Structure 1
Amino acid sequence: MTRRLLYSYVGLALLVLAGLEIPLGYLYASGETSRFAQTVERDATMLAEVTEESIEEGNLTELPTLIGDYTARTGGQVVVVDRAGIVLAASGSPVRTGTNLSRETDIATALRNQPTTGIRTDTNGGEALYATQPGSSGTTIRGALRLTYPMTTVTERAHRIWLALGLAGACVLAAVALVAFALSCWITRPLRTLQRATTQLADGGLADPPDADSGPPELRELAASFTHTATRLQQLLDAQQAFAAEASHQLKTPLTALRLRLENFEPYLDPHAHGSLDETIGEVERLGRMVHGLLALARLENTATTPEPTDLDAVLADRAASWEPLAAEQHVTLTLTGPPAGRVWAIPGALEQIVDNLVANALRVSPPGTTLTLSQAPGAELHVIDQGPGMSPADRERAFDRFWRASDSHHDGTGLGLPIVRHLVRASGGEITLRPAPGGGLDACVYLRPVDGGRRRAGNGSPRAARAAVTAR
C-alpha cells in the first residue's frame, strides 16, 4: 500500500507539473519566436533605410561594409537588391553580387513597396526567419533588403527554457516523492503492524499488538479496536481450551460409573429386560465416544501448529500392519498398493489419525469376504477404497457434517469421524473428497502436499498454520 500511495502522490504531482510547465513552455517558445520576428523586422527596416540612402546617393561601395559590420555583430544574413531585383551587396549569404532575385516572392513584394516576414528554407535545408523591407522614399522605390536569421537561434533559446523547466520539475517531483514517501510510511505503519498482528492471531496468539500511537486517527482507532477484539477473542479461546481439557476428565468418570452401574443391574433384572439393558449400555458407550469426539474437535480448533514433513509410506505401512488383525477377524482383506509417495506436509500425528478414522469407517461397512485397499497415487494422493454399499451423491455431500449419519446406517458411529478427518487434512494444507469406487463401494481420496514442491491436485495449496489433532473413533 505504501508503494501505491507513493505512486498516487507522485502521479498527481506529475500531472500538475505537466499541466503547468507544458503550456508555460509552449507560451514561452511562441513569445520568443514573436519577439525574435519583431527584432528582425525592426533591424531590417533600419538597414533598409540606411541602404536606401546609400543607393540614392550612389555610394554603392559602402553597402558591403555597412551590411558586413551588421553581419559580424549579429550573425544575420543580409542581401541588398536594386529596384530591378539585381543583388548589389550580400553579407553572410551565398548569394553573389549581380544575381537577379526579382522572381523571388518576398523580393518582388518588397519592390512593390510592401514588406514581408516569414519562414523559409535556407541553402542548408534548415528553417530561417526572414524580413524583407523595401528601400523607398515615399512612393519612390530604389531597392529592397532581405535580413535572414536561422531558426536555430530561437530553438536554442526554447530548448534552454524547456531544459530549465524540466530540471525545475524534476526537483519539485523529487521533493514531492520524498514528502509522499514519508507521508505514505506514516499512513501505512499502523496497517503494517496490524497485518503482522493478524498473522500472529491466526497462528494462535497475539504477541505483538498493532501500533495504536501513530498514523491517522482512523487507523489508530482501528488498531486499538483490533487489539481489544483480539484480547477478548484470546480470552474466549483460553476459556474454551480450559473447558476442553477439564471436560475430558470430568465427563469420563460419570460415564464410566454409569456404565458399571448398568452392568451391575443385570443379575437383578428380569431376563426379558436384558435386551433393553444391552441397548442402554450400548448408547452409554456411544455417548462416551461422542463426548470424546467433541472434545477432540474442540482441541483441534483451539490448538495451532505448523505442518511438518512426514513420511507417508512409513505411516501407511505402520497403520496397515496395525489394522490387519482386526480386518482379518471380520474376514476382510486389507491390502496396501501403489508406488512410494515419499514425504508430505502434515501436522504432527495427523496422518495416523486420518488413516485410522478412514479405515475404521470402511471396516464398519465392509461385508465379509471383501477387500479394503489402501492405495497411493502420484502427486501425494491417498485412497481408502472399500467394497461396501457406497453412498449416494446427496449423502456424500453431507458426509462431513457433524453428527450426520446416513438414514440406512446400522452401525453405532457418532458422525464425527469424517469431520475430524477433513479438519486434519485441511489443517495439513490438503483436501479430501468422497467418490464412488469402481465396482461399488466408496473411495475416500486424500490429496496432500508433497515436500518436494510438486503440484497438488486439490486443496488450498498454502502451508498455513494448522491445528493439533487427537483421534476420535
Structure 2
Amino acid sequence: MTRRLLLSYLSLTMLVLLGLEVPLGYFYARGEISRFTGDGRHSAELLAQALEVRVEQRAASDIPELVADFIDGNGSHVIVVDDRGKVLADSDKATAVGTDLSAEPDIAAALRDRSLSTTREDRVVQGDAFTVTVPGSSGSVVRCVVRVSYPVAPVTAKIHGIWMTLGLIGLGVLVAVAAIAFALAHWVTGPVRALERATAELADGSLKAPPTTSQGPPELRRLADTFTRTAARLQHLLQAQRAFASEASHQLKTPLTALRLRLENFEPYLDPRVHDSLDEAVGEVERLGRMVHGLLALARLENSATAPEATDLDAVVADRAGTWTAFAAEHYVDIVVTGDPAGQVWAVPGALEQVIDNLLSNALRVAPPGTTITLAPRRSGDQRSDTVELHVIDQGPGMTESERERAFDRFWRAADSYHEGTGLGLPIVRQLTRAGGGDVVLEAAPGGGLDAVVRLRPAGGQPTAAPRRPRPAEQEEWVSVF
C-alpha cells in the first residue's frame, strides 16, 4: 500500500510538472528562435542598406571593412554581390571576387528585389545556419545583394540548456515530493500494517499485540480501536465456545447414559408387544449420543489451530486396513490395499487414522457381501503441483451427483441410509483433511459404487496451520460418528 500511495503521489506530481514545464519550455524555445531569426533579418537588412550606399557612391573598397565589422563577434558568414550577381566580398574569402552567383535561387530572388530566409548547412560556420538573403535597393533599383549565414548552434545550445534546467528542476521537485510522500504514506499505512499483523494473530487464535490507536489518520485510529474491541469480544466468544466444547461432553454424556439405562430397565415391566418401540427409543438415544459426540468433535476442530506434521501414509493405510480386515470379514467383505508407495504427507496428528476409519466404516455399511473395499494411495500432478491421493473405493449402490454434492453438509443423510447415521461423519472427515491442507471429494467409482478421494499435500512443503498439538482427549473424540 505504501508503494501504491507513493506511485500515485509521484504520478500526480509528474503530470503537474509536465503540464507546466513542457509548455514553458516550448514557448521559451519558440521565443528564442523567433528572436534569433528576427534579429538576423534586421541585422542583414541594416547591412544591406549600408552596403547599398557604398555601392551607389562607388566606394566598393569600403565593403570588406564593413563586412569584417559586421561579422566580428557573431561568427556569421557574409557574401556581397553586385547588381549582376558577381561577388564583391566574402567574409571567409572562400569565394573569389567576381564569381558569378546569379544562378543561385536566393541570389536570383534578391536581384528581383525579394528577400529570402532558410536554414541550411554552411561549411564556413561548420553546421546548420540560418541564411538571410536581402537586396540592397533604393526604390525598385537593386544595387547589391547581401547573404548572411548565422550559426544555429548557439541558439540550439541555449534551448537545450533551458530544457536541461527545467528537467533538473522537475527532478528536484520529484525527489522532494517522493521524500514527503514516503513519509506521508508511511504515516498513513502504519495503522494498516498494524491491523494486518493483528488480524494475522487473531486468525491464529490469539491477539497478543493489539494495534496502536495513537498513530495515523483519525479514521484509521478509530478503525484500530473498533478492531481491538471486536477482537476482544471475538476472543471472549471463542474462549467461551472452547470451554463449552471441553465441558459439554461430560455434562451431556451423563444424562444420556442415565436415560438409556432407565429405558432398558423398563423392559421387564413392559408388554412384549412394545419391546420393538422400546428398542427404537434406545436406538434414538444412542444416535443422539453419537450426534452430540460428533458436534463436540466438530467444535474442537473448528476452535483449534493444529500444526500438520509429516505422516507416513503407507504405514497408516496398512495399519488401518489390518485393523478393519477382521471386522470386514464378519460382513463377508474384503479389504485390499493397492497402488504404489505414497510416502509422507502433511496431516494433523491422529487425524489421518480417523479419516480412514470413518471412510471404511461408511463403505462397510453399504458394501454388499462378497464385494471388495479398495484402499489405493496414488501420486498425481506434475512437479510444480504434486498431490497425494488416497482412494477408498467400495462396490455399494453409490450416490447420485446431487447426493455427492450434499454429502458433506451437516446432518444430511441419503434417503435410503440406515437410521443410526448422524450426518456428521463426512463433515468431520473434510474438516480433519482440510486442517492438514488437503481436501476430500466423492466420485463415482468405475463399475458402480463410491470413490472417496482424499487429497493430501506431500511432506516436501511447509505446514501452514498454527503450532498447537491436540490434546490426547481431543484425539480420542475424533471417532466414527456415521
The alignment's TM-score, normalised by the length of structure 2, stands at 0.90
Query: Hey, what's the Cα distance between the residues in 2 that align with 1:187 and 1:199?
Result: 20
Asked if 1:149 is matched to 2:165, the reply is no
Secondary structure, in 3 states, of the residue corresponding to 2:73? Answer: helix
Cα distance in 2 between the residues matched to 1:383 and 1:93:
102
Task: State how far apart, in whole Å, the 2-side matches of 1:339 and 1:258 are.
Answer: 50
Mapped partners of 1:38, 1:436: distance in 2: 91
CA distance in 2 between partners of 1:96 and 1:169 (Å): 52
Report whether the alignment pairs 1:103 with 2:111. no
Q: In the aligned structure 2, how far is the partner of 1:118 from the partner of 1:277?
A: 118
Residue 119 (str. 1) matches residue 119 (str. 2): yes
Q: Which residue of 1 aligns with 2:384?
A: none
Counterpart Cα distance in 2 of 1:108 and 1:194? 83
Partner residue in 2 for 1:214: 215
Q: Which amino acid aligns with 2:167?
A: G
Q: CA deviation at 1:139?
A: 4.8
What is aligned with 1:76? 76
Q: Which amino acid aligns with 1:393?
A: E
Indicate conservation of the 8 Å contact 2:436/2:463, yes or no: no
CA distance in 2, matches of 1:323, 1:143: 122
CA distance in 1 between counterparts of 2:348 and 2:65 reads 102
**Structure 1 letter corresponding to 2:268:** P
Q: Which runs of 5+ in 2 are unaligned?
A: 381-387
1:458 corresponds to which residue?
A: none
SS in structure 1 opposite 2:478? coil
- In the TM superposition, 1:67-466 aligns within 5 A as 67-92=67-92, 94-123=94-123, 126-379=127-380, 380-452=388-460, 463=464
What is the deviation of 1:416? 0.6
Moved more, 308-317 or 40-49: 40-49
SS of residue paired to 2:416: coil
Aligned counterparts of 1:128 and 1:462: Cα–Cα separation in 2: 75
Deviations along 1:180-237, one digit per CA (max 9) or x if unpaired, are 2222222222222222222222221222222332222222222222222121111111
CA contact (8 A) 1:416 1:472 kept: no
In the alignment, residue 109 of structure 2 is paired with which amino acid? T
Superposed CA deviations along residues 419-441 of structure 1, whole A, max 9, x for unmatched, are 11111122222221112222222
Q: Deviations over 1:112-144 (max 9, x none)?
A: 444433334435895321222332345553212
Candidates 431, 454, 478, aligned match of 1:471 = 478
Q: Distance in 2 between matches of 1:4 and 1:355?
A: 49
Return the letter of the residue paired with 1:98.
G
Give the SS at the match of 1:382: strand
CA distance in 2, matches of 1:96, 1:340: 102
SS at match of 1:305: coil
Q: Give the C-alpha shift of residue 153 in structure 1.
A: 2.4
Alpha-carbon distance, 1:365 to partner: 1.5
Distance (whole Å) between structure 1 residues aligned to residue 467 and residue 290 of structure 2: 24
Work out whether residues 83 and 143 of structure 1, in 8 Å CA contact, stay in contact via their aligned partners in 2: yes
Q: Distance in 2 between matches of 1:306 and 1:19?
A: 57
Partner of 1:56: 56
Q: In structure 1, what residue type is equivalent to 2:23?
A: P
| More deviation, 424-433/135-144 | 135-144
Indicate if the aligned counterparts of 1:78 and 1:93 stay in contact, CA closer than 8 A: no
**Using a 3 Å threshold, how does the CA distance of structure 1 residues 382 and 117 change in structure 2: closer, same or farther?**
same
Deviation at 1:4, TM superposition (A): 1.5
Q: Secondary structure at the match of 1:134?
A: strand
Determine helix, strand or coil for the equivalent of 1:238: helix
Counterpart CA distance in 2 for 1:374 and 1:141 is 114
Give me the whole-angstrom Cα distance separating, in 2, the residues matched to 1:172 and 1:215.
25
Counterpart AA for 2:395: Q
User: Which stretch has the larger CA shift, 53-62 or 127-136?
Assistant: 53-62
Name the counterpart of 1:456.
Answer: none
Contact 1:435 1:442 (C-alpha < 8 Å) held by counterparts: yes
Distance 1:64 1:130 in 2: 19
Q: CA deviation at 1:42?
A: 2.6
2: CA distance between counterparts of 1:139 and 1:437?
A: 110
Q: Is the 8 A contact 2:374 2:393 kept in 1?
A: yes
Mapped partners of 1:121, 1:276: distance in 2: 117
Given that 1:347 and 1:466 are in contact with CA atoms closer than 8 Å, whether structure 2 keeps it comes out as no
Tell me the CA shift for residue 336 of structure 1. Answer: 1.2
Deviation at 1:359, TM superposition (A): 0.9
1:18 to 2:18 alignment: yes
Which deviates the most, 14-23 or 274-283? Answer: 274-283
Q: Contact (CA 8 Å) 2:132, 2:148: kept in 1 or not?
A: yes
- Please tell me the residue identity of whatever aligns with 2:444: P
SS of alignment partner, residue 6 of structure 1: helix
Contact 2:82–2:145 (Cα < 8 Å) also in 1: yes
Is the Cα contact below 8 Å between 1:388 and 1:442 reproduced in 2?
yes
Q: CA deviation at 1:285?
A: 1.6
Q: How far 1:104 moved relative to its partner?
A: 2.8
Instruction: Check whether the contact 1:76–1:92 (CA below 8 A) recurs between aligned residues.
Output: no
Equivalents in 1 of 2:433, 2:226: separation in Å? 34
CA deviation map 1:25-83 (0-9, x unaligned): 11111110111112212322332233334333434333333323433422100111111
What's the CA shift string for 1:330-388, capped at 9, x where partnerless? 22211111111111122222211111111111111122222111111113001111122
CA distance in 2, matches of 1:355, 1:133: 105
Count of equivalent residues: 466
Aligned equivalents of 1:157, 1:66: Cα separation in 2: 29
Please give the secondary structure, in 1, of the residue aligned with 2:261: helix
Partner-residue secondary structure (3-state), 2:399? coil
More deviation in 156-165 or 48-57?
Answer: 48-57
Distance 1:180 1:309 in 2: 47
Task: Give the structure 1 partner of residue 6 of structure 2.
Answer: 6
Q: 1:431 to 1:466 in 2, by over 3 A?
A: farther
Supply the AA of the counterpart residue of 1:326.
F
C-alpha distance in 1 between matches for 2:94 and 2:309: 89
Q: Which moved more, 1:22-31 or 1:341-350?
A: 341-350
Distance 2:214 2:369 in 1: 70
Return the alpha-carbon distance in structure 1 between the equivalents of residues 478 and 419 of structure 2.
Answer: 19
Q: Write the letter of the residue equivalent to 1:233.
A: L
